[in-house]
A and B are shown apart, each in its own frame.
Chain A
Amino acid sequence: MSPLRGNSARGSLVGLSVKTKLLTACLAVALPLLLSSCGSSAPPQASADSATQAAATTPGVLVEDAWVRATVGAKDTTMTAAFMSLTNPGGTDIKLTSATSPAAGVVQLHEMAMKGGKMVMQEKAGGINVLAESHAHLAPSGDHVMLMGLKQALKPGDEVPLTLKFSDGSSHDLTVPVKAFSEEEEHYHPSATPTSTP
């Protein structure tokens, strides 16, 4: 019992310190960005003063390093995923509640989950939570923004407009680059699992 506790305590400590370090590093870089992005996402009907106040106290979620996986060469070119890092420097959890894009018929927030011994992709109930003073990393084989019913194939070098909506009422309009990436491809094309055909 005690060795187990010792291990888990050490494990979480390491995890915590790494997380804190990463957050500190990101915040240092992100602060100027936050200021500019908050101004634009403030509710238009609020007075300038109160908008500035709100921005200063609840800075909202910072979106960084967004990209979309290209569909060129994929078996199913009607869907793909967007990935990014979400940072919540505030003291209250904020959820990514929805996303939209003119490039896709349907956009959903997805997670990977074990079902019957198999890793499957499914819609994430309630959205993707970004804990207070922490990050959520949307990455291949983890949570992601699923773009379905693509209106055209996406090739590296293209850009996709993407709007994210958060539980604090803020929204972010992004222009996301399309990049080539092959890892975990089958996870996003569950119907096209590689077969043993030669």
Chain B
Amino acid sequence: MLGKDDPAASSTEATVVVRDIEPYGDHQPAVAAASPKHAELVALNLLSGTDRAALGRLMRLWTADIVALSAGRPAPGDTAPELALPGVALTTTVGFGPRVFALPGLARLKPGGLDDLPVMSHDRLQPAWSGGDLLLLVGADDPVSVVHAVRRLVADAAPFARPVWRQTGFWNGTGADGKPATGRNLFGQVDGTGNPAPGTPEFDSTVWSTDGPDWFRGGTTLVVRRIRMNLDTWDELTRSEQERAVGRKLSTGAPLTGSVEHDELDLEKRDADGRLVIAENAHARLSHHSTNDGRRIFRKGLNYVQDTGATRESGLIFLSYQADVAGQFLPLLARLDAADALNEWTTTIGSAVFAIPPGFHPGGWLAQPLLR
């Protein structure tokens, strides 16, 4: 009988929430949207004949596909049209890797700092998960819709580019109460608490490019890092050791100096023995903007598992959005590489960086100001 007295609770239970996300806007819409339940990233390399004009044709083609698929319609020429479903919050984000700007005519339009990331001392990068000229990031509430959309977009790209890696991930951004929540990685940590909130000036100044080439205003950059997590050795730790490595409580994600998730960190607080409560090498301290000259990023995660026979690898597809990779992300990356306590249980095995062009409006197409 519990809960029956609360009409709001019972109506929430009975309602299946379906939604479509408009493909249009000043920005590609998935960037600021909540993490999708299911997602696939595909990096593609341009074929040798793909020049600036051909890239424009591909962007027009993808734009039409994205508009149709976002509304739950089959892509034009869809060979499996019945797989297109509305109401699954399908989004597609498109990015350009650094080499796109090596095409004739595009060199001087390259966003500043858009270069392959330097290799960090803890990195064990595998070419199979690294680099790429184009990125497709497709997300939805339903994995069938993701796979179908990716299939169409990759098939339509065949005359222009071929896939070099694919990563599939999942995220639960819904709390036990049915409300949006930050979500957890496979260590069990609440992951992404420190993000600027979409719709705030902090978010806008963190994510959207305002200087650099004109065509890139309203764009952003995306760093994709495939981080393998050693769950076996992590599980050998006590909970307090696990919490100390991050500087946050596993139960709520609250800082060890606070009581609820979004409490501000008290980086000076010491325990009875005089030790810093949030340790010198705790992830939350090292990544906090107050210790990084105010530099922030907007990070999202997707959990992944990679099975080979009976062997499972687990990890996180780390996604970081920022207006300027070199100015915002690289200093943070170097800091974490040098000292982060979590490095003992994590290894980055893939790394890629993309410029995410601004969004498009009805009648327009992706990266039109760059490629027209």
| Chain A residues within 8 Å of B, Cβ to Cβ | 25-26, 29, 32-33, 36-37, 64-67, 69, 83-85, 155-159, 175, 177, 179-181, 183
Contacts of B160 in A (CB 8 A): 157
Contacts of A36 in B (CB 8 A): 362-363
Closest CB in chain A relative to B200 CB, distance in Å: 26
Contacts of B294 in A (CB 8 A): none
Contacts of A37 in B (CB 8 A): 363
Contacts of B58 in A (CB 8 A): 157
What's the tally of chain B residues with a CB closer than 8 Å to chain A? 29
Is the CB of B76 closer than 8 A to any CB of chain A? yes
A193 to B361, CA, bound (A): 44
Contacts of B362 in A (CB 8 A): 32-33, 36
Whether A66 and B158, one on each chain, are in contact in the complex, defined by CB atoms closer than 8 angstroms, is no
Whether A25 and B71, one on each chain, are in contact in the complex, defined by CB atoms closer than 8 angstroms, is yes
18 A-B Cβ contacts within 8 A? A29-B22, A29-B71, A33-B362, A64-B73, A65-B76, A66-B76, A67-B76, A67-B77, A83-B77, A85-B73, A157-B160, A159-B57, A177-B60, A177-B61, A180-B77, A180-B158, A181-B77, A183-B79
Binary CB contact string for chain B from 17 to 52 against chain A (1 if under 8 A, 0 otherwise): 000101010000000000000000000000000000
Whether A157 and B57, one on each chain, are in contact in the complex, defined by CB atoms closer than 8 angstroms, is yes
Number of A-B residue pairs at CB separation under 8 A: 66
Is the CB of B72 closer than 8 A to any CB of chain A? yes
Given A36-B362, A65-B76, 7 more A-B residue pairs with CB atoms under 8 Å apart are: A25-B86, A26-B71, A67-B77, A83-B77, A155-B159, A159-B60, A177-B156
Whether B68 and A64, one on each chain, are in contact in the complex, defined by CB atoms closer than 8 angstroms, is yes
Binary CB contact string for chain B from 312 to 325 against chain A (1 if under 8 A, 0 otherwise): 00000000000000
| Chain B residues within 8 Å of A, Cβ to Cβ | 20, 22, 24, 54, 57-58, 60-61, 64, 67-68, 70-77, 79, 86, 155-156, 158-160, 361-363
Closest CB in chain A relative to B111 CB, distance in Å: 26
Q: Is the interface of B mostly helix, strand, loop or mixed?
A: loop
Whether B73 and A65, one on each chain, are in contact in the complex, defined by CB atoms closer than 8 angstroms, is yes
Closest CB in chain A relative to B363 CB, distance in Å: 5
Neighbour of B76 across the interface among A26, A177, A183, CB < 8 A: A177
Contacts of A67 in B (CB 8 A): 76-77
A29 to B24, CA, bound (A): 10
A190 to B93, CA, bound (A): 42
A149 to B22, CA, bound (A): 39
A71 to B324, CA, bound (A): 44
A83 to B362, CA, bound (A): 20
Whether A179 and B156, one on each chain, are in contact in the complex, defined by CB atoms closer than 8 angstroms, is yes
7 tightest A-B contacts by CB?
A: A157-B159, A67-B76, A179-B77, A33-B362, A65-B76, A67-B77, A32-B362
Contacts of A29 in B (CB 8 A): 20, 22, 67, 70-71
Closest CB in chain A relative to B302 CB, distance in Å: 27
Closest CB in chain A relative to B304 CB, distance in Å: 31
Closest CB in chain A relative to B38 CB, distance in Å: 22
Contacts of A175 in B (CB 8 A): 60
Query: Chain B CB within 10 Å — which of A25, A37, A67, A157 has the most?
Result: A157
Closest CB in chain B relative to A175 CB, distance in Å: 7
Closest CB in chain B relative to A40 CB, distance in Å: 9
Q: A25-B71, A37-B363, A183-B79 are in contact. Are A177 and B159 (CB under 8 A)?
A: no
A137 to B91, CA, bound (A): 25
Whether B24 and A32, one on each chain, are in contact in the complex, defined by CB atoms closer than 8 angstroms, is yes
Contacts of B70 in A (CB 8 A): 29
Closest CB in chain B relative to A140 CB, distance in Å: 9
Neighbour of B64 across the interface among A83, A155, A177, CB < 8 A: A177
Contacts of A156 in B (CB 8 A): 156, 158-159
Contacts of A180 in B (CB 8 A): 77, 155, 158
Closest CB in chain B relative to A80 CB, distance in Å: 12
Whether A69 and B363, one on each chain, are in contact in the complex, defined by CB atoms closer than 8 angstroms, is no
Query: Chain B CB within 10 Å — which of A25, A69, A155 has the most?
Result: A25
Contacts of B72 in A (CB 8 A): 25
Q: A157-B159, A179-B156 are in contact. Are A83 and B71 (CB under 8 A)?
A: no
* Chain B residue with Cβ nearest A175: B60
A64 to B75, CA, bound (A): 10
* Chain B residue with Cβ nearest A85: B73
Closest CB in chain B relative to A47 CB, distance in Å: 24
Whether A33 and B76, one on each chain, are in contact in the complex, defined by CB atoms closer than 8 angstroms, is no
Contacts of B76 in A (CB 8 A): 65-67, 83-84, 177, 179
Whether B77 and A69, one on each chain, are in contact in the complex, defined by CB atoms closer than 8 angstroms, is yes
Contacts of B61 in A (CB 8 A): 157, 177
